[in-house]
Amino acid sequence: MKRSEVNRIMRDAVTFAHEHHFHLPPFAFWTPQEWATKGEEAREIVDHMLGWDITDFGSGNYARTGLFIFTIRNGTMDALRKGRGKVYAEKLLISDVDQVTPMHFHWSKTEDIINRGGGKLVIQLYNSTKDEGLDPGEVSVSIDGVRRTVKAGDTVVLEPGESISITSGLYHKFWGEDSRVLVGEVSSVNDDNVDNRFYEPVGRFPEIEEDEPPLYPLVKDYPKFYHPAK
Ligand SMILES: [Fe+2]
């Protein structure tokens, strides 16, 4: 992705979120120059991978295969193992019309995907087999506390206000319908470096072509701008 495209997506996302009365935390708006002045007090943002995480999954076509992600909070796998402390995470996502997040499951994470407003969110579901294939058996899911059974590969459609619980090992692929969707994700601890199993190989983080300066750093840019020891 070009940096100019990432910057444009950031500006659009802030406007769209504000239209839905959703506001990002202050560190969302720290510029690279401000990041360069931050010390150890900002360590959690970096270590827990909070912040801007815009990806085209290596597709080169964000509009067709991509996802806007902002990680608002996240715990650690260590806390999860101990069963105390910050064992949860929250993200803001934006799915555009027919913009697909590819089929994947998580080995560890259980996540609720929430339609916070805008269009409809369509989610395709499969159970996974032991060898990480698509299971032909029917899928049982909880949608806002109501159990529903669908055929393998069927879709469920979430209207604004509705949410689905995606348990670990459950394959899911999703996209917006009718109009751009503001999506919430509330989950157990998230580790995008190790906890994503994509059905077809994708790049979880994009390659960035630096055609203009970054508006705000992506999570993967922190090592470039954050040097607390200096
Ligand atoms: Fe997921």
Each domain of the chain, given as residue ranges in start order, spans 3-225
For residue range 48-86, list pLDDT tens digits in order: 999 999 999 999 999 999 999 999 999 998 999 999 999
> How far apart are the CA of 36 and the centre of ligand 1, in A?
32
> How far apart are the CA of 99 and the centre of ligand 1, in A?
15
* pLDDT at residue 131 in the model: 96
Q: Which residues, 6+ apart, have CB-to-CB distance to 193 below 8 Å?
A: none
What integer is the mean pLDDT of 145-165? 98
| pLDDT over 80 at 108, yes or no | yes
* pLDDT at residue 192 in the model: 85
> How far apart are the CA of 94 and the centre of ligand 1, in A?
13
> How far apart are the CA of 169 and the centre of ligand 1, in A?
10
Q: Are 100 and 173 in contact (CB under 8 A)?
A: yes
* pLDDT at residue 201 in the model: 87
> How far apart are the CA of 172 and the centre of ligand 1, in A?
7
How confident is the prediction for the chain on average, in pLDDT?
96
Rounded Cα distance between 219 and 26, Å, is 15
What integer is the mean pLDDT of 109-137? 97
Query: Quick one: CA torsion of 56, 167, 120, 138, rounded to 10 degrees?
Result: 110
For residue range 204-222, list pLDDT tens digits in order: 788 999 999 999 999 999 9
- DSSP label at residue 213: -
> How far apart are the CA of 83 and the centre of ligand 1, in A?
22
Rounded Cα distance between 11 and 229, Å, is 31
For residue range 178-213, list pLDDT tens digits in order: 999 999 999 999 988 888 899 998 887 889 999 999
Rounded Cα distance between 133 and 168, Å, is 14
Predicted confidence band of residue 230 (pLDDT cuts 50, 70, 90): low
How would you classify the pairing of strands 139-143 and 163-166?
A: antiparallel
Instruction: Please identify which residue in the block is written with the tokens 């059974």.
Output: 149
CATH architecture for segment(s) 3-225: Sandwich (2.60)
> How far apart are the CA of 71 and the centre of ligand 1, in A?
13
